[in-house]
Structure 1
Amino acid sequence: MELRARFEHAPDAATVALVDRLRADLERAPYTVDAIEALWDRRAAVARTHPGDALRRGYRVPAVRALAGVDASDAASATLVRLLLLGLHVDADALGTALPTLGVEGAIELGLAASDAAEPDRLHPLIDLRPYAFTDAAGPGQWWIASDLGELALGGALPEDHVLGVGGASTTLSGLLVQRPAHRTLDLGTGSGIQALHASRFSDRVVATDISARALALARFAATLNRVDTVEFRLGSLYEPVAGERFDRIVSNPPFVITPRVEGVPSYEYRDGGLVGDGIVEAVVRGAAEHLAPGGIAQLLANWEYRGGAAGDGLERVVGWLAETDLEYWIVEREQQDPSAYAETWIRDGGTRPGSAQFEALHTAWLDDFARRGVDSVGFGYVLLRRPEDGRAPTLRRAERRHGPIGDNPGGLGAHLAAVLEASDVVDALDDDALRSLALIVAPDVTEERHHWPGAEQPAAILLRQGGGFGRAIDAGTALTALVGASDGSLPLGAISDAIADLLEADAAALWAELAPDVRALVHDGLLVPAQR
């Protein structure tokens, strides 16, 4: 039976028993990230290159070479890597040794592999199943994630109903998640289920939706394999499966890729939402207003179009979608591509190689589509939305560009976003007079840089540099630098500001009026945080 059929709905007892046997074998092999990395490290000298590095670049030949002649102690792991990660054929005897509890027949019955008609003693994979390790606010963890066979295993372009596994976008989004406890979380467009699994770490219940029944089957299989029983899977488009429901969190890696709606252009379910331009992102952003509970947060990755040459048009489009809602927002554009570069990226992503007639035709279709709508470029970034608590006026209104490298954030940006939201809520509830009574401390990743002209006593520039977060560098004046330097939580801001005014022989009220907005900005950027009293 195909895996999709077994996991189209909640699995029966016989299927769960097969999955339990598979899990026992994967743990015994072991088939884990650490075990595979150790295998690559041991074989790197033999292969004369690091197989893992080559795989991450999209090439498997070094890995195939490294697996030749592995020691007996690595044989089980190597067989599973060949079949489930590299998408290669394996001997039935070797697979039986690697999966002694499940067995070859069990692997076939579960839908992991099938025997070759021409060579019955050889098996080929039917799905991609690979280990995945991470660290979040709850600590380290690891899962096995199922997806369709990739381009390397298929030897050509992907089918349009392809279910994507763990990639750069999915790990980026999981690292962005605000990991506060939540009662109910919605994973909109779950795909392989990776975000639903992450959400289950801090949510009582998760609802995972997708328009693809195949994706839901693979995600349900992964949840069963990883013993996650708090996720409910629903079939349907966008918010239709959760009509009338509200959630404390919404997370979505939607199919945001802008794709021409013309004959001959593949429509990949995992990346193409079927709407014109950035319409799918607009639908997700607008729809969040009806489905967030008070205090609820939505986070998604997105593309947006720049049209007509206006410098701020891309971000303004996203902000405009929220104009008729009471949602707060923090939108961060991470990069911007011209139409040709954008098209090239996503044509290659589907497995079509540059130089072919098909590539040229698709490239033409993409550029024609952008030209029809006057698209000058496409932005990519992060969208965070929040519904204010009942009775609280919206205060979070940020749309910014942070292109290029950002700070060092082990585990992702999620902890930084959560801390900034919490700190901003404190200062935004205070007027400037009340703010004087607040004590702040400098975030531990902030350093000070002073730049001097040769021979000058006074610095030409003083920078406050953020090591984590978005890696901001703030050009601070003498007074602001002094205030930050004195912010150790022992004195309120007003007392510090007045003392600085005395030292500078400045008017205390005028200096505070100058410093108050700068202090708020440093809190909003995560360089200053309220002291714990």
Structure 2
Amino acid sequence: MPWHPVYGGAPWGVPCAGVTAAQWRASKLGVMTAFPPVPGPPSAQNIELIEALREDFIEAGFTNDGVAELLGAEAVAALDREQVVPGQLRVQSELSQQMPSAEADSTGGPAAEAETLSQSQRCAVLTALWLVAVPVTYHQVQKALPRTGVEGLRQLGLAVLGPEAVWPACDLRPYLVETRAGSRDLWVTSDLSSHQVTGALPKDHVLGVGQASLTLAGITHRRPVQTALDIGTGCGIQLLHLLDHAEHVTGTDLSPRALDFARFNLLLNAPALELDPRNLEDRVELLEGSLLEPVAGRTFDLVVSNPPFVITPRQAGETESDRYTYRDGGREGDALMQELIAGLPAVLNPSGTAQMLGNWESSADEAWDARPRSWVSQAGLSAWFIQRDEQTPAEYAETWLRDASEERSIQDYRRRYGQYIADFASRGVQQIGFGLIWLQKPAEQQEDTTPWLRFEQLTGEIQQPLGPVIGQTVQRALAAHTDEAGVLQKALHTPETITEERYQRFGAEHPEVIIARQGTGLRRSRPISSAAAGFLAAADGEFTAAQLITAVCSLTETEEDTLTQEVLDLYIEGYVEGYVEQ
């Protein structure tokens, strides 16, 4: 499923609760001030008001494409680099055209009342308010959202009102998804990001659209299912995707605050998601609780999760309120991933699948996949782990201390950094891996079959969305896993996206290294023998694999058994990797 955020995070500071006149004046001078505490999540009580807000957004063109058109390619690219100034300049230019100044229209005089905003100006006001931190007045917001109004935003908990300005109470951004029926414009609310508040993030922070959630959405195979479960749903981003191909979805989260955001987002996007806003429970269920506890005794066709897998040093006497609930599951080391995988067979239907992100530890004397391999072996699941990155304990500590903006206090940063290093050292951890996980429970008739396992490290560039690629490759790999001999009777062909690279020293008669490279999807590359290269060159779908093996061996003096094994490996891994297609 394609996924399209309109922009990334942005390094601006904006107030997040009641704003004083002094703060308003300081903001106009570009002066950072101390901001009040983060307010509560948006209110889902007034469905009619939420519907009015959605209509205002559509009419103002406050959509992914609308904002991109307003800002232009350069400003959007700058926002992806966390540079907000180009977007601010573009918005200020748009607002300055045929619109009273912030000072003039705050008086509410005749000129202000008569002013009519164009669609691009309405979009500019909303972009200023929620995306690029340009001050907007009551009048500007009122004109941009005529159905909702300033008071409506306050009632919904989406904005806070200062003496002269309206400020965002939460993050709100357009979100474009591709569904079976085509593109759909959605909107996602979440807590203000670390760049929008002073100090470290609050412990009950609710994440919005981020790289991890986009990655999970992109890798999920969107096969039609009856039931789907999102573990650790947060503000509900995965639910927005699951509702396109699941009849009923369930989202669980330990944080009631996160579930409030998820409920609001479902209501805000109800028509596009084919939901009855007054009967959400017909297709959606939101349950409070840790991991799989809220769904004990129930089973699902598909489970997805961006779980709170971040490895965090445990402290004596700590409580749930001491942890960042959006990322820290409260377990030692990578025990949360082990616990979650161990529990999946109980909640998966036969042939049901799970797709997740995760972390795993490794010591100096073990392979990176040692612990993941033991987890899935004990659970009896087929599994595919793709390690996308690995970090040292120091690198890991730096990453996650920055994530919560804990570096803003040097004393706290130094203390927490030391705790991370000591914690990893206590278990002999040398590397922490991060990656993508696909799991499947065996079908009832295959319970005695050895599970299919694959563990690989791919740190290069990939092409999202990977969901279709993953779905196709695991289907082929599982088929080959149960009937390798049948592969030799298939007529195979090499797809056009596979290219060949040959390397040899100057003056050498033959290439010393031949590489088969995949141009799409996971974009792997692997060395192959010259005989296998001949096989791939001849594989055009006309002859069976067995016939081609015999022909290639007669020309290259290669042993048939040797090439047969390589072709079988190419078929199994190539079916997985896409080097040969049926």
Mapping of 1:510-529 within 5 angstroms?
A: 511-513=563-565, 515-529=567-581
Greater shift, 134-143 or 483-492, is seen at 134-143
Mapping of 1:16-31 within 5 angstroms?
A: 16-31=47-62
Q: Shift in Å at residue 144 of structure 1?
A: 0.5
| Residue number in structure 1 paired with 2:66 | 35
Query: Which secondary structure does the structure 1 equivalent of 2:79 belong to?
Result: helix
In structure 1, runs of 5+ residues without a counterpart are 45-49
Query: Which secondary structure does the structure 1 equivalent of 2:360 belong to?
Result: strand
Residue 216 of structure 1 is aligned with which of 259, 263, 268? 259
Mapping of 1:192-203 within 5 angstroms?
A: 192-203=235-246
Query: 1-side partners of 2:402 and 2:42: how far apart?
Result: 31
CA contact (8 A) 2:350 2:442 kept: yes
Q: Shift in Å at residue 67 of structure 1?
A: 2.2
CA RMSD across the alignment: 2.3
Percent identity over the alignment is 35
CA contact (8 A) 1:207 1:234 kept: yes
Query: 1-side partners of 2:256 and 2:562: how far apart?
Result: 63
In the superposition, the TM-score normalised over structure 1's length comes to: 0.89
CA contact (8 A) 1:300 1:384 kept: yes
Q: Do the aligned partners of residues 280 and 336 (structure 1) sit closer, same or farther apart at CA in structure 2, a change above 3 Å counting?
A: same
CA contact (8 A) 1:447 1:466 kept: yes
| Residue number in structure 2 paired with 1:401 | 457
Query: Which secondary structure does the structure 2 equivalent of 1:270 belong to?
Result: coil
Residue 91 of structure 1 is aligned with which of 132, 137, 148? 137
In the superposition, the TM-score normalised over structure 2's length comes to: 0.82
| Residue number in structure 2 paired with 1:295 | 351
What are the Cα deviations for residues 386-444 of structure 1, in whole angstroms up to 9, with x where unaligned?
Answer: 012121224420112222x234x2x4221111111121123222143x32211222234
CA contact (8 A) 1:87 1:153 kept: no
Query: Which secondary structure does the structure 2 equivalent of 1:97 belong to?
Result: helix
Q: Shift in Å at residue 226 of structure 1?
A: 0.9
Verify: 1:175 aligned to 2:218, yes or no.
Answer: yes
Verify: 1:329 aligned to 2:375, yes or no.
Answer: no
Mapping of 1:280-359 within 5 angstroms?
A: 280-307=336-363, 309-312=364-367, 314-353=368-407, 356-359=410-413
What are the Cα deviations for residues 308-338 of structure 1, in whole angstroms up to 9, with x where unaligned?
Answer: x1241x4211221223222110011111111
What are the Cα deviations for residues 223-246 of structure 1, in whole angstroms up to 9, with x where unaligned?
Answer: 111113232211111111111111
Q: What letter corresponds to residue 424 of structure 1 in structure 2?
A: A
Task: Point out which structure has higher relative CO (alpha carbons under 8 A, 6+ apart).
Answer: 2
CA contact (8 A) 1:257 1:303 kept: yes
Q: Shift in Å at residue 125 of structure 1?
A: 1.7
Mapping of 1:30-179 within 5 angstroms?
A: 30-41=61-72, 50-70=74-94, 71=97, 73=118, 74-86=120-132, 89-116=135-162, 119=163, 121-135=164-178, 139-179=182-222
Query: Which secondary structure does the structure 2 equivalent of 1:490 belong to?
Result: strand
Q: What letter corresponds to residue 197 of structure 1 in structure 2?
A: L
Query: Which secondary structure does the structure 2 equivalent of 1:489 belong to?
Result: strand
Query: 2-side partners of 1:122 and 1:507: how far apart?
Result: 79
CA contact (8 A) 1:96 1:104 kept: yes
Query: Which secondary structure does the structure 2 equivalent of 1:453 belong to?
Result: coil
Q: How many residues align?
A: 507
| Residue number in structure 2 paired with 1:383 | 437
| Residue number in structure 1 paired with 2:287 | 234
Query: 2-side partners of 1:249 and 1:343: how far apart?
Result: 33
Q: Shift in Å at residue 355 of structure 1?
A: 7.5
Query: 1-side partners of 2:360 and 2:410: how far apart?
Result: 29
| Residue number in structure 1 paired with 2:104 | none
Q: Do the aligned partners of residues 59 and 355 (structure 1) sit closer, same or farther apart at CA in structure 2, a change above 3 Å counting?
A: farther
| Residue number in structure 2 paired with 1:414 | 467
Q: What letter corresponds to residue 205 of structure 2 in structure 1?
A: H
Query: 1-side partners of 2:180 and 2:396: how far apart?
Result: 34
Residue 453 of structure 1 is aligned with which of 505, 528, 544? 505
What are the Cα deviations for residues 490-525 of structure 1, in whole angstroms up to 9, with x where unaligned?
Answer: 221111111222323555456435533343332232
Mapping of 1:239-258 within 5 angstroms?
A: 239-258=292-311
Query: 2-side partners of 1:165 and 1:509: how far apart?
Result: 54
Greater shift, 318-327 or 514-523, is seen at 514-523
